[in-house]
Amino acid sequence: MTIQILKKTLIVAALSAALSGAYSVATRQGLWESHAATPLVAAVASPIANMTLPDMSEIVARNGPAVVNISVFGKVRGQNFDFPDIDPNDPFYEFFRHFRVPQPRGERQVRGQGSGFIVREDGLILTNAHVINEADEVTVRLNDKREFKAKVLGADKASDVAVLKIEARKLPVVRIGNSSNTRVGEWVLAIGSPYGFESSATAGIVSAKSRSLPDDNYVPFIQTDVAVNPGNSGGPLFNMAGEVIGINSQIYSRTGGYQGLSFAIPIDVAASIQDQILKYGKVQRGRLGVSIQEVNQSLAESFGLSKPTGALISSVEKDSPAAQAGLEPGDVILSVNGKEIESSSELPPVIASIHPGDSARLQIWRKSGKREIEIKVGSLDSGDTASADDKESAPSRLGLTLRPLRPDENRRLDGKAGLLVENASGSAARAGIRAGDIVLSVNGEPVRSTEQFLTLVAKASKRVALLIQRGEATLFVPVDR
């Protein structure tokens, strides 16, 4: 592909040189009159001459003062595993290292930087949850060099949105836009602190919408080719009206630097998270209680659908909201409250955005026909939300996001009780627990629900022994509380 592109480039360059040379020679020899040469030049140059690029200087001048630099400081307790007889690159290293009790090695300091933006004049700030993760101190530095200690009002790991508050008045604020109106191909602008370079502005276009990323089921990301690098996290993404349409959150990179693939959390999603944190102190998400899969062409034909669309239900949890509403395996969810579901990845964030207890209207495809089903949405019980009021509770100290096993997962365990680890951070991650592990017991007590897990952990001493199943192997993992 590189060679083909290079050949095309050389051909275009040679053609341009030939045309330029021919025009020069012809002009010198008097073969072309001036009025005859003009159309040729105009024809070649007109696509470039008519191209206008947006001037973003006003957007930067207007919004730059409302973009802040966030620096964090924390202390993480280290551990020494010291296995001279086991190669750390060995695939079984993570398993075998748990057969020895880790020895304390003291604390290590953690520092980090990110970006954020002011959404209220009284100092309310939005940023990424991962920017302030495990931070003991959060400092916000304004564009005018003033610094404030920030309070974390709430951080939602599932959406990677955090809400901060500083004690200040009459601060500059950004204008919030509507991310649902964003179009692929339109120009966008990011302002942040990449690599610590404050107030850096970079621009590009929207590459795609509603991107689903691994381990991020609740955010329909906006993909851009804006130059976003470490330190840009938590900064705003503006449209050409000077409105924030997203929070820069992730990059895809093989080097850790800019690769032209950056992802932003839609501001509509972030605003919803902000409202819930301010109102409830935590985030509540809707749940149906189904397992879903993508509808491909073969499945669409077998179910009598005219095209591959929707989310195919592969299993329904017993006594779940879906079961009570009469949903069945084989049903295809086509829309929720009038919003079409084009692919299965679109369903989780749509359902999660519905407040638990509210009703939703589903259009489904069953036995070659459409049906309408009313369903009362349940609550997604997870420990992935930490607020200022409960950040000292067991989930935030262990850093585990858990959910009950689905029926199909439970059958693979021969009926054993357990909780699936959806995400691991903090002390749990440092102990070696990772997403996909199954927690079978806490200090020898089998666990069947997240409530029971929290209760058992709260009763434990400084260290908790978790029995973990990973693949076919089971092992006890000591985790500091």
Average pLDDT of the residues of the chain: 79
Q: Are residues 235 and 171 in the same domain?
A: yes
Q: What integer pLDDT is reported at residue 30 of this predicted model?
A: 39
Q: Are residues 185 and 292 in the same domain?
A: no
| Domain total in the chain | 4
What's the CATH number where 263 sits? Answer: 2.40.10.120
Average pLDDT for residues 88-109, to the nearest whole number? 46
Spatial CA neighbour of 360 closest among 398, 396, 390, 321:
321
Catalytic residue among 179, 200, 233, 344: 233
What Cα–Cα distance (Å) separates residue 74 from each residue in 109, 165, 377? 6, 18, 39
Residue 250 burial (10 A CB sphere; 0-12, 13-18, 19+): buried
Please name the amino acid found at residue 456: L
Q: Are residues 102 and 211 in the same domain?
A: yes
Catalytic residue among 130, 216, 268, 335: 130
- pTM: predicted TM-score of the whole model, two decimal places: 0.63
Q: Are residues 139 and 265 in the same domain?
A: yes
pLDDT-above-70 percentage for the chain: 76
Q: Are residues 210 and 163 in the same domain?
A: yes
Selection from 71-75, 242-246, 398-402 with the highest mean pLDDT: 242-246
Pairing of the two strands 311-316 and 290-294: antiparallel
The last residue of a domain, from among 389, 423, 444: 389
- Residue 50's pLDDT band (cuts 50, 70, 90): low
Average pLDDT for residues 306-323, to the nearest whole number? 91
Q: What integer pLDDT is reported at residue 112 of this predicted model?
A: 82
Average pLDDT for residues 423-446, to the nearest whole number? 84
3-state secondary structure of 460: coil
**Per-residue pLDDT for 82 more than 60?**
no
Of 79-93, 260-274, 363-377, 416-430, the one with minimum mean pLDDT is: 79-93
- Residue 109's pLDDT band (cuts 50, 70, 90): low
Element (H, E) at 334: strand 332-336
Q: Are residues 251 and 291 in the same domain?
A: no
Quote the CA–CA distance of 142 and 46 in Å, as a whole number.
45
Quote the CA–CA distance of 91 and 78 in Å, as a whole number.
22
Average pLDDT for residues 306-312, to the nearest whole number? 93
Q: What integer pLDDT is reported at residue 464 of this predicted model?
A: 80
What Cα–Cα distance (Å) separates residue 204 from each residue in 128, 223, 242, 293? 21, 11, 14, 33
The last residue of a domain, from among 379, 400, 430: 379
CB count, 10 Å around CB of 63? Answer: 24
Element (H, E) at 115: strand 103-120
Contact indicator for 208, 246 with CB cutoff of 8 Å: no
Selection from 189-203, 398-412, 435-449 with the highest mean pLDDT: 189-203
Q: What integer pLDDT is reported at residue 75 of this predicted model?
A: 66
* Token couple for 363: 């259009």
pLDDT in tens, 455-479: 888 887 667 878 888 887 877 788 8
pLDDT-above-90 percentage for the chain: 43
Q: What integer pLDDT is reported at residue 415 of this predicted model?
A: 66
Residue with tokens 């509509």: 268
Helices and strands in the chain: count of H runs, count of E runs = 12, 29
Instruction: For residue 210, indicate whether it is catalytic.
Output: no
- Residue 17's pLDDT band (cuts 50, 70, 90): very low
- Residue 65's pLDDT band (cuts 50, 70, 90): very high
Q: Are residues 44 and 58 in the same domain?
A: no
- Residue 47's pLDDT band (cuts 50, 70, 90): low
Q: What integer pLDDT is reported at residue 396 of this predicted model?
A: 42
What's the CATH number where 368 sits? Answer: 2.30.42.10
Average pLDDT for residues 145-161, to the nearest whole number? 93
Whole-number CA gyration radius for the chain: 27
State the DSSP code for 340. Answer: E
Average pLDDT for residues 7-35, to the nearest whole number? 41
pLDDT in tens, 161-211: 999 999 999 999 999 999 999 999 999 999 999 988 989 999 999 999 988
Instruction: For residue 130, indicate whether it is catalytic.
Output: yes
Q: What integer pLDDT is reported at residue 398 of this predicted model?
A: 78
Q: What integer pLDDT is reported at residue 42 of this predicted model?
A: 43
Residue with tokens 């620096």: 71
Catalytic residue among 160, 268, 384, 437: 160
Contact indicator for 108, 75 with CB cutoff of 8 Å: yes
Q: C-alpha angle 298/303/309, rounded to 5°?
A: 70
Of 13-22, 184-193, 364-373, 470-479, the one with minimum mean pLDDT is: 13-22
Q: What integer pLDDT is reported at residue 472 of this predicted model?
A: 77
Spatial CA neighbour of 324 closest among 370, 364, 288, 366:
288
- Residue 106's pLDDT band (cuts 50, 70, 90): low
Instruction: For residue 233, indicate whether it is catalytic.
Output: yes
Element (H, E) at 272: helix 267-280
3-state secondary structure of 216: strand
The last residue of a domain, from among 354, 379, 404: 379
Q: Are residues 64 and 194 in the same domain?
A: yes
* Token couple for 144: 């005018």
Contact indicator for 404, 450 with CB cutoff of 8 Å: yes
Contact indicator for 286, 352 with CB cutoff of 8 Å: yes
* Token couple for 465: 């022994």
**Domain, as residue range, for 36:** 2-49
Q: Are residues 271 and 292 in the same domain?
A: no
Q: What integer pLDDT is reported at residue 24 of this predicted model?
A: 43
Q: Are residues 166 and 217 in the same domain?
A: yes
What lies within 8 Å, CB to CB, of 426 at 6+ separation is 134, 396, 397, 398, 399
Of 7-11, 210-214, 220-224, 464-468, the one with minimum mean pLDDT is: 7-11
Q: Are residues 162 and 268 in the same domain?
A: yes
- Residue 262's pLDDT band (cuts 50, 70, 90): very high
Q: Are residues 158 and 234 in the same domain?
A: yes
